[in-house]
Amino acid sequence: MIVVSDTSAITSLIQIDRIEVLRELYGAILIPPAVERELRAHHSAIPNFIEVTAIHDREAAARLLLEINRGEAEAIVLAKEVRANVLLIDERKGRAVALREGIPIIGLVGALIAAKHKGFLPSLATALDELELKADFRIGAELRAAALQAAGE
C-alpha cells in the first residue's frame, strides 16, 4: 500500500507519542519536501519509516498553491505521481482539492479508527482526548460520536 501524508496527521501523532500507529498501519509513509520542512520546523526528528520523496510536476504544485498551502499542494502532486492508494490529509480545503484531483483520502480520525480495528490502538477515545488536549486537534462532537461508534467504543 502506498500512502502519502500531509503534515498535520504526522505532527499531531508525534505530539501525543503515537506516531508508531502509522507505521503499524501502513508501513512506510511518503512525504514531499515541503512537508519535511514543515515537520522539521517543529520536531527535532522525523521517524525513519517516513520517507521524503521529491515531486516532479512543479507546475501542478504551483497551480495548487493558488488554493492551498505548499505542503498540501506537494502532497497532492506526490500522491498523483506515485499513484498512492490514499492521501492522509485533514484540512478541509486540501481534502476538497485532493478529491477533485481524483486522489483517495483519509483523515487522521479515519486512520485511527482503522488502527483500532486492527488492534494497533487500544482506545480511540483516549487517542482523541490526547489529540484535543496535547495537539490542539479539533474534533467536532458529531465526528467524535461517529468515530467512536465506528470503532465500537
Q: Mean pLDDT of all residues in the chain?
A: 96
Q: For the beta carbon of residue 137, count every other beta carbon within 10 angstroms.
A: 21
Which amino acid type is present at position 141?
A
Q: Which CATH superfamily is domain 3-108 in?
A: 5'-nuclease (3.40.50.1010)
> What residue segments make up the domains of the chain, in order of their start?
3-108, 109-150
How does pLDDT run across 93-118, given as a tens digit for each residue? 999 999 999 999 999 999 999 999 99
| Average pLDDT for 47-59 | 97
Helices of type H across the chain? 7-15, 20-26, 33-42, 58-64, 70-81, 92-100, 108-117, 124-134, 141-150
Residue 74, SS3? Answer: helix
| Average pLDDT for 78-96 | 97
